[in-house]
Structure 1
Amino acid sequence: MYIIENANILKDKQLTTSSLLISENRIIKIQTSFNHYRVMKMNVEPYIMTPSFVLFNSKIPYKESFPELKNYLIDQFLLKGCTTLFTYVDVSYENELTEKFKEMKTALVGCPVDFIIGIRIPVRLITPSLMRICKKEKIPAIFIELEDPGQLENVPWGWIREAIFPFNSPLIPKISSSQKKEARAVLSKWKGIMVKEKIPAIYEEIEENQPLPATVLNKVGLFPQRASLMHGTELSYNLYLKGREINNVDEVKLFHYHGDRLVVTVHKGKIVRTGAKVLFKPGYGEHLKVRTPSYFSL
């Protein structure tokens, strides 16, 4: 047991100073101070602390050699303060879902960061039978490849809602059109149908390679277990050097524009990055099994 004291925790552009009581790599209490505890203390007053990030990345080179995959994971995740990745596999036919999902999961066994895997499907595969497979396999997210608004009209949404329940993996739009006007029209139609049919869904596309907000993490069942510093959560965090220019920024701006100030990343209580040096721990990451998406009420 030990205490992290004087932690300047950044959340929603606000810095709050707290002390964290740690036991077995978990936060067991957060309060202003722990003056009466006779345990080891670590003062992090010179730093800004954030939870480690969760990034969505659809281009994981999981079929390449391990050295290539390792370098990619270091550059795109560990050096950016990310300890959980979110990705998907493309599924074109119902009968290949289980095999493709298993292939990706097996390829990431040596991953140093935690991961969750969704699937991406065309609209024609939004069927009750595929939704039941997703429920059985506990697929936490189903990305839908969308081209035009009319595609969504003939889907048996009532049956889909029944087939997803009670696991309720969210459906997430993935727009193939590069035209902004067309993309807006598709998303507008998408949201209208999802709300009307009461389908668990995310209404906008998820941005790649930037920290995912709590709303998205909750929908896929990762919040508050990941990307949060709360009572009962595992100890995964980043430390940035303080400075005047980062006094009023949020976590996303810190991630994008002040990566040079990131000095320490801790994953499940263990240091995985210090300065420019990454401590690559093969297999330290785990495949996160989501119990229930959207369980936590935000």
Structure 2
Amino acid sequence: MYIIENVNLLTDNQLKKCSLLINNNRIAKIDSHFNKYRLMKMNADPYVMTPTNVLFNSNIPQIKAFRDLKAYVIEEFLLKGCTTLFTYVNVSYEHELLPKISELKTTLLSSPIDFCFGVRIPIRLITQSFLRKCKKNKIPAIFVDLSSIDELEKVPWGWIREAMFPYNSPLIPIISSIEKKEVKSVLSKWKGIMKRENIPALYEELAENQLLSIAVLNKIGLYPQKASLMCGNEVSYNLYTKRKDKNVDDVNLFHYHSNRLAVTVHKGTVMRAGDNVLFKPGYGEHVRVQTPSYFSLPT
């Protein structure tokens, strides 16, 4: 048990001064101070603390060689303060679901960061049978390839909604084979159907190699388990050198102030200190989502 004191915690784009009581690599309590405790203390005052990031990246499943995976994870994740990967497996037929999942888990056995994944399917696979299989295997997100407006109208959405309940993995659109001028209208049609049929979904594509917002993380069930520093949560955080910033937020720190990232801690282990990065094979875990849309947050 120890205390991280004088923490400049960045939450909701505002800095909050507090101290964290840590026990068994989890946050036991957050308070203004713990002066009465006789424990080892770490002074975080020179830094701004944020939760570690969750990054969406679809390239990871294609990387098979350990050497390539190590270099990629260090460059694209650990050096950027990201300790959780969100990705997907490509599934063209229902019988491929379990073998593809097993294959990806094998690929990520040596991952030093945590991972969570959905599936990417053609729209013809949006069937009651397939969605029940996804629900049974707790697949937290289903990426759907959209190629035309017409195909959206052919899906029996009422039956689909029943098949998804109660796990309710959100459907996420992917625009891969549509002319640029038609993308806006297809997404508009998608949004209209999802709202009309009351189907859990995202209304825009997820940007590759970008941080997932709290709203998206909540929708797929990773928040508040990840990207959050709350009581009971794991000790996973980034420390950025402090400046006199009037306006500061996680996204700006990630995109424009990576040179200020000094320390990354993942589940109590220092993964990055200055320019030194620890690649700890197998330290990453498959994050299993029990309840998508855990909180009622705006989308």
- TM-score per shorter chain, which class? over 0.9
Deviations 1:213-266 (A, max 9, x none): 11111111111010001111111000001123x441211111011111101000
Which letter maps to 1:270? Answer: T
Counterpart secondary structure, 1:285:
coil
The answer as to 2:174 corresponding to 1:174 is yes
Deviations 1:174-213 (A, max 9, x none): 1125755422111111111011111111111112222211
Q: What's 1:34 paired with?
A: 34
Please tell me whether the aligned partners of residues 140 and 221 of structure 1 are also in contact (alpha carbons under 8 angstroms). Answer: yes
TM alignment of 1:12-91, pairs within 5 A: 12-91=12-91
Please tell me whether the aligned partners of residues 221 and 294 of structure 2 are also in contact (alpha carbons under 8 angstroms). Answer: yes
Looking at structure 1, the residues matched to 186 and 74 of structure 2 have their Cα atoms a distance apart, in angstroms, of 36
Q: What's 1:121 paired with?
A: 121
Q: What's 1:251 paired with?
A: 250
Looking at structure 2, the residues matched to 93 and 160 of structure 1 have their Cα atoms a distance apart, in angstroms, of 17
Q: What's 2:216 paired with?
A: 216
Looking at structure 1, the residues matched to 290 and 49 of structure 2 have their Cα atoms a distance apart, in angstroms, of 28
TM alignment of 1:124-163, pairs within 5 A: 124-163=124-163
Looking at structure 2, the residues matched to 261 and 90 of structure 1 have their Cα atoms a distance apart, in angstroms, of 37
Q: What's 2:189 paired with?
A: 189
Q: What's 1:282 paired with?
A: 281
Aligned-residue sequence identity (percent) comes to: 65
Q: What's 2:92 paired with?
A: 92
Q: 1:198 to 1:235 in 2, by over 3 A?
A: same
Q: 1:89 to 1:81 in 2, by over 3 A?
A: same
Residue 148 of structure 1: how far off its partner (Å): 2.0
Please tell me whether the aligned partners of residues 55 and 212 of structure 1 are also in contact (alpha carbons under 8 angstroms). Answer: yes
Looking at structure 2, the residues matched to 32 and 177 of structure 1 have their Cα atoms a distance apart, in angstroms, of 53
Looking at structure 2, the residues matched to 178 and 165 of structure 1 have their Cα atoms a distance apart, in angstroms, of 30
Which letter maps to 1:86? Answer: F
Normalization by structure 1: what TM-score?
A: 0.96
Please tell me whether the aligned partners of residues 210 and 255 of structure 1 are also in contact (alpha carbons under 8 angstroms). Answer: no
Looking at structure 1, the residues matched to 51 and 179 of structure 2 have their Cα atoms a distance apart, in angstroms, of 35
Which letter maps to 1:32? Answer: S
Deviations 1:130-176 (A, max 9, x none): 10110111111100011222220010111111111111111001112
Deviations 1:9-45 (A, max 9, x none): 1123211111111100111111111111111111100
Which letter maps to 1:281? Answer: K
Please tell me whether the aligned partners of residues 147 and 178 of structure 2 are also in contact (alpha carbons under 8 angstroms). Answer: no
Looking at structure 2, the residues matched to 177 and 7 of structure 1 have their Cα atoms a distance apart, in angstroms, of 48
Q: 1:178 to 1:42 in 2, by over 3 A?
A: farther
Looking at structure 2, the residues matched to 278 and 209 of structure 1 have their Cα atoms a distance apart, in angstroms, of 20
Counterpart secondary structure, 1:27:
strand
Counterpart secondary structure, 2:58:
coil
Looking at structure 2, the residues matched to 225 and 61 of structure 1 have their Cα atoms a distance apart, in angstroms, of 23
Counterpart secondary structure, 1:189:
helix
Counterpart secondary structure, 2:210:
coil
Looking at structure 2, the residues matched to 142 and 131 of structure 1 have their Cα atoms a distance apart, in angstroms, of 9
Looking at structure 2, the residues matched to 199 and 70 of structure 1 have their Cα atoms a distance apart, in angstroms, of 38
- Give 4+ residue runs of structure 1 displaced > 3 Å after superposition: 177-181
Gaps of 5+ in 1: none
Please tell me whether the aligned partners of residues 54 and 84 of structure 1 are also in contact (alpha carbons under 8 angstroms). Answer: yes
Gaps of 5+ in 2: none
Normalization by structure 2: what TM-score?
A: 0.96
What is the root-mean-square deviation of aligned Cα atoms in Å?
A: 1.3
